[in-house]
Amino acid sequence: MPAEYTVDRTSPVPLYFQLSQQMEAAIRSGHLKPGEMIETEMQLAARHGLSRPTVRHAIQDLVNKGLLFRRRGVGTHVVNSPLRRSVELTSLYEDLVRAGREPTTQVLVLKRILVEGEVPEALNLGSKAHVTYVERLRMVDGEPLSLMRNWLPEGQFQPKRSALEENGLYELLRSQGIHVTMANQQIRATAATAEESRILHVKKGSPLLNMRRIALNEEGQPVELSNHVYRSDTYMFETTLMAR
Amino acid sequence: MPAEYTVDRTSPVPLYFQLSQQMEAAIRSGHLKPGEMIETEMQLAARHGLSRPTVRHAIQDLVNKGLLFRRRGVGTHVVNSPLRRSVELTSLYEDLVRAGREPTTQVLVLKRILVEGEVPEALNLGSKAHVTYVERLRMVDGEPLSLMRNWLPEGQFQPKRSALEENGLYELLRSQGIHVTMANQQIRATAATAEESRILHVKKGSPLLNMRRIALNEEGQPVELSNHVYRSDTYMFETTLMAR
DNA sequence: CAGTGGTCTAGACCACCTC
DNA sequence: AGGTGGTCTAGACCACTGT
């Protein structure tokens, strides 16, 4: 018995999107099972009064998301191990909130500074520029978890201390209409410096996870530079990679 | 002066693909500059004798790759900071070869073992199963770089010691018709154990980068499980993330 | 207002796979 | 041979942007 979807032609939501969302829900809920073959494009089109290109668009989106795979002459099937997290950007803050923990944030430094060298160059500001520098300490259940240093191009927005303590940085950027759509991350293991060991309550020289990131908006303009260190006993990075 | 592309209708290569490849080359070579607006769909279609949907397909592929961005009512523009690496899977071996270094590999263990618990379950083999276990030491310029432990479902292929010392694991899988298209990675910082410190020539307790990965084929079937440790002074992970 | 990209349709032919 | 997805066409109407 094929899954039944409903499309609303009076809705402003595109038909292909209505369809792909309902198909995704059917897969994630287990109504469409791993490995199972779904209906053909023609069947879906006929049963829901859609054209083949519209149905195709919906299916293609799910193929790109890694939920379906197709083979010419064979059919379209549900993947066997849908990876939990699609390729998305999340901040640690959002991760913890989703897990039901209650992280707190303390702003250690928030000021406008003059920088030269790598930082302004990575932000596309030339060799010397004024930027907003933020240093925050994130804690969970009273234990320090990470030390986060961020540099932002001046003028795009002026975050307040209180806002930085109550929201994730990406959330704040989003509320200012700044959408992070791409990021390049470098992840290293480092030994805790004296300062880091004092702030994070770990022994000097013990392993820390270090992340350096450049975040870009839709246009490819850098909007933020990060250098974060995380306690290795409480945090890891999880990424889903898709070839092609 | 707009960029000129040539499409060959006698070629088996799809027209949209011929177009998108030439546009990508024009962007990467700098012939189309960051921020610059490219021709409209209609202009491209008219000038090259293509239909609008075909041109649209080519452009959409480059938008998905993060090389172009579009705004309704405005136009299609080249992004300002094309990220070097698209979202692709690479092995350390391939990384080093591309950098012109000459890595060598030594197979420490290669055998069929019976495992239970997490390993067979992650590989979708039930709670207990026979798998191929490989342990390799990678060196560059005579210095140990990483210790790699891999588990593979039995039967999909029988790697030879010599093959494993001369090729990357993914390369070998590919030659067997096994295409890795997705992977879920966890990256941690760990302290070197006694064994790891001996093999990698680092002090016990010093920071190491640890990666655990499940690699999947097109169908979402697990094809390989990894647990690698890397010396933190010579390696880092670089990832490009794309939202949506 | 004119021009852009976003969506949608109804066809067509083809390459590939399974039977 | 029949059915699948892959490609391609020539239209159409709409939403949004900048002037």
Supply the pLDDT for residue B233: 85
Q: Which nucleotide is nearest to A73 (CA to C1')?
A: D4
Which chain A residue shows the shortest CA-CA distance from B179? A243
Test A232 with B184 for CB contact under 8 angstroms: no
Instruction: Determine the longest span between alpha carbons in chain A, in angstroms.
Output: 68
Q: Within 10 Å of residue B92's Cβ, how many Cβ atoms?
A: 20
Higher-pLDDT residue of A242 and B217 is B217
Supply the pLDDT for residue A88: 44
Interface test with A, best of B61, B239, B240 (most A CBs within 10 A): B239
> Which range has the worst mean pLDDT, A15-29, A224-238, B95-109, B218-232?
B95-109
Chain B partners within 8 Å of A237 (Cβ): 185-188
Q: Are B148 and B133 in contact (CB under 8 A)?
A: no
pLDDT band at A91 (very low <50, low <70, confident <90, very high): low
Whether the beta carbon of A34 falls within 7 A of nucleic chain C: the reply is no
Q: Are A137 and A196 in contact (CB under 8 A)?
A: no
Residue-level length of chain A: 244
Query: Which residue lies nearest C9, CA-to-C1' measured?
Result: A51
Alpha carbon B30 to chain centroid, angstroms: 25
- Helices B15-28 and B52-64: crossing angle in degrees, nearest 10, is 50
Return mean pLDDT, chain B: 88
Q: Which nucleotide is nearest to B71 (CA to C1')?
A: C5
Supply the pLDDT for residue A168: 82
- Tokens for A241? 């990679």
Q: What is the mean pLDDT of residues A48-64?
A: 96
Q: What is the mean pLDDT of residues A81-108?
A: 69
Residue A178 has what DSSP assignment?
A: -
pLDDT surpasses 50 at A51: yes
pLDDT surpasses 70 at B89: no
Question: How deeply is B209 buried, as exposed, middle or buried, from its count of CB atoms within 10 A (0-12, 13-18, 19+)?
Answer: buried
Test A239 with B244 for CB contact under 8 angstroms: no
Higher-pLDDT residue of B80 and A156 is B80
Chain B partners within 8 Å of A205 (Cβ): 205-206
Test A64 with B64 for CB contact under 8 angstroms: yes
Q: Which nucleotide is nearest to B7 (CA to C1')?
A: D8
Supply the pLDDT for residue B88: 41
Supply the pLDDT for residue A116: 93
Q: Output the pTM of the full model.
A: 0.85
Test A190 with B232 for CB contact under 8 angstroms: yes
Q: Which helix (H) or strand (E) holds A59?
A: helix A52-64
Question: How deeply is B60 buried, as exposed, middle or buried, from its count of CB atoms within 10 A (0-12, 13-18, 19+)?
Answer: middle
Measure in Å the smallest separation between the Cα of A202 and chain B Cα atoms: 13
- The spacing between the Cα labelled CA in B13 and the C1' in D6, in angstroms, equals 11
Supply the pLDDT for residue A41: 96
Single out the residue of A220, A131, A102, A224 nearest to residue B82, CA to CA: A220
The three-class DSSP label of residue B137 is: strand
Q: Which nucleotide is nearest to A69 (CA to C1')?
A: D5
Chain A partners within 8 Å of B183 (Cβ): 240-241
d(C-alpha A105, C-alpha A89), whole Å = 20
pLDDT surpasses 60 at B106: yes
pLDDT digits 0-9 by tens, B126-184: 889 999 999 999 988 888 989 999 999 987 778 889 988 888 888 888 888 888 888 88
Test B221 with A80 for CB contact under 8 angstroms: yes
Supply the pLDDT for residue A234: 81
Return mean pLDDT, chain A: 88
Which chain A residue shows the shortest CA-CA distance from B86? A244
- The spacing between the Cα labelled CA in A99 and the C1' in D11, in angstroms, equals 51
Supply the pLDDT for residue B94: 62
Whether the beta carbon of B53 falls within 7 A of nucleic chain D: the reply is yes
Q: Are B203 and B197 in contact (CB under 8 A)?
A: yes
Whether the beta carbon of A56 falls within 7 A of nucleic chain D: the reply is yes
Q: How far are the Cα atoms of A66, A196, B111, B202, B239 from residue B147, in angstroms, in the given order? A: 30, 28, 17, 12, 21
Supply the pLDDT for residue B77: 95
> Which range has the worst mean pLDDT, A171-185, B6-20, B48-62?
A171-185
Percent of chain B residues past pLDDT 90, beyond the cut: 58
The three-class DSSP label of residue B229 is: strand
Residue with structure tokens 């012939």?
Answer: B31
pLDDT band at A87 (very low <50, low <70, confident <90, very high): very low
Supply the pLDDT for residue B59: 97
pLDDT digits 0-9 by tens, A107-150: 999 999 999 998 899 888 888 999 999 999 998 888 898 999 99
Supply the pLDDT for residue B218: 87
